[in-house]
C-alpha cells in the first residue's frame, strides 16, 4: 500500500502505545475507511477509532507568493483491547 508512508515515533506517540493507539503518516488523498481496512488486513487487528490531522507542508515560493503544499496527514489509530501491533512496539522499545 503506497498510501501509508510510515509509523511515527515521537515522545507523544510512544506514550500513546499505553492507550493502545498507534500513529502513522499517510497520503492526504486516502479516505478513513481505506486506511482502516488496510490496517485491519495488514496487521490482523480490529480498529475502533481513528483521529487525523493535517500537518503543515513545506513552503514553496513562486515569485513573491509563498504557498504551502500538503503532502501527508497523521492518523492516530485506536485498537480494541487485546490487540496490538507487535513489530512497532518491539522496535520502539529497543531503541
**pLDDT per position as a tens digit, 21-72:** 999 998 888 889 988 998 898 889 999 999 998 887 778 888 888 887 767 8
Rg (CA), the chain: 15
3-state secondary structure of 79: strand
Residue 20 is part of a domain; what is its CATH number?
3.30.70.330
- The pLDDT of residue 93 is above 70: no
* Residue 5: partners with Cβ closer than 8 Å, 6 or more residues away: 24, 25, 26, 27, 72
Region for residue 41 given its phi and psi (left: phi exceeds 0; alpha: psi -120 to 50; beta: otherwise) = alpha
**pLDDT per position as a tens digit, 64-85:** 888 877 678 899 999 999 898 8
Task: Count how many domains the chain has.
Answer: 1
Average pLDDT of the chain? 83
What's the pTM?
Answer: 0.76
Domain span at 53:
4-94
Amino acid at each position: 500500500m503506497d498510501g501509508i508512508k510510515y509509523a511515527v515515533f515521537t515522545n507523544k506517540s510512544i506514550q500513546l502505545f499505553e492507550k493502545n493507539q498507534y500513529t502513522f503518516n499517510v497520503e492526504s488523498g486516502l479516505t478513513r475507511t481505506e486506511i482502516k481496512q488496510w490496517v485491519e488486513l495488514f496487521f490482523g487487528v480490529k480498529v475502533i477509532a481513528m483521529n487525523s490531522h493535517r500537518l503543515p507542508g513545506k513552503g514553496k515560493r513562486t515569485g513573491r507568493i509563498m504557498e504551502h503544499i500538503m503532502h501527508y496527514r497523521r492518523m492516530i489509530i485506536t485498537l480494541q483491547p487485546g490487540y496490538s501491533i507487535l513489530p512497532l512496539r518491539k522496535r520502539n522499545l529497543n531503541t
